[in-house]
A and B are shown apart, each in its own frame.
Chain A
């Protein structure tokens, strides 16, 4: 089974801090994704990576950046955390770009910015 591991289940940070959320997958998937999930707004794509060092903006990239130095690891960075970034963050991976492959999700990081 594919395993997608997010480094923290719960995280509390302060406004203005630089925050790193880490995600690791163990199945050699090319694609990795970062979403945020908010009540009433569903899942929204922040960033997507289809290969090492490659990234594309999703629907809501403002205030975020990403890093993919190794195929198995995809990091989401909040450059200067703000309270409106309090949310559930979900990482996912999939086998190939496009196509009929499902996405495999981690258990999420519930981030609170105070």
Chain B
């Protein structure tokens, strides 16, 4: 399967702590994206990192990409209860229109 693998599957932290989620994939990619999904809702795009980039920031989000290890991580700093959601990585392979989604990490931030 080309589906990306994410770990952990579930993560529970206290408000104010940092949350780190990891994504691994199996092929060469053009870009990798992270999405957030609140319960029962659609996905919301968070950040995109190109294959020639190693790190990218957006507010409290930091994404890294290691193409040699075929892995990416999403760090959410100073988490808030409102960050509670599922987080998905998705990557686009070279020469493909499709996004391949990971299995997701369920994040619970306790107040």
Contact = CB atoms under 8 A, between A and B. Distances in A.
Contact of A105 (B40, B42, B102): B42
B24 interface: no
Nearest to A104: B45
Query: How large, as a class, is the contact surface on chain A?
Result: 20 to 34
A90 B90 CA distance: 15
A16 interface: no
A4 interface: yes
A13 B27 CA distance: 39
Interface in A79-113: 90, 92, 97-98, 100, 102-108, 110
A83 B97 CA distance: 30
Nearest to B49: A100
A30 B102 CA distance: 25
Q: Is the interface of B mostly helix, strand, loop or mixed?
A: strand
Contacts of A110: 40
A14 B81 CA distance: 39
Interface string B68-104: 0000000000000000000010101000111101111
A90 B44 CA distance: 12
Query: How large, as a class, is the contact surface on chain B?
Result: 20 to 34
User: Which of A4, A42, A58, A100 has most chain B Cβ within 10 Å?
Assistant: A42
Interface of B: 3, 30-31, 33, 35, 40-45, 48, 50, 88, 90, 92, 96-99, 101-104
Given A45-B98, A98-B30, 17 more contacts: A4-B42, A31-B97, A40-B103, A42-B3, A42-B88, A42-B101, A50-B97, A97-B97, A98-B92, A98-B97, A100-B30, A100-B31, A100-B48, A102-B45, A103-B99, A105-B35, A108-B40
22 contacts: A4-B42, A31-B97, A42-B3, A42-B88, A42-B101, A42-B104, A43-B43, A43-B90, A48-B97, A48-B98, A50-B97, A97-B97, A98-B96, A98-B97, A100-B48, A102-B45, A103-B43, A103-B99, A105-B42, A105-B44, A107-B42, A108-B40
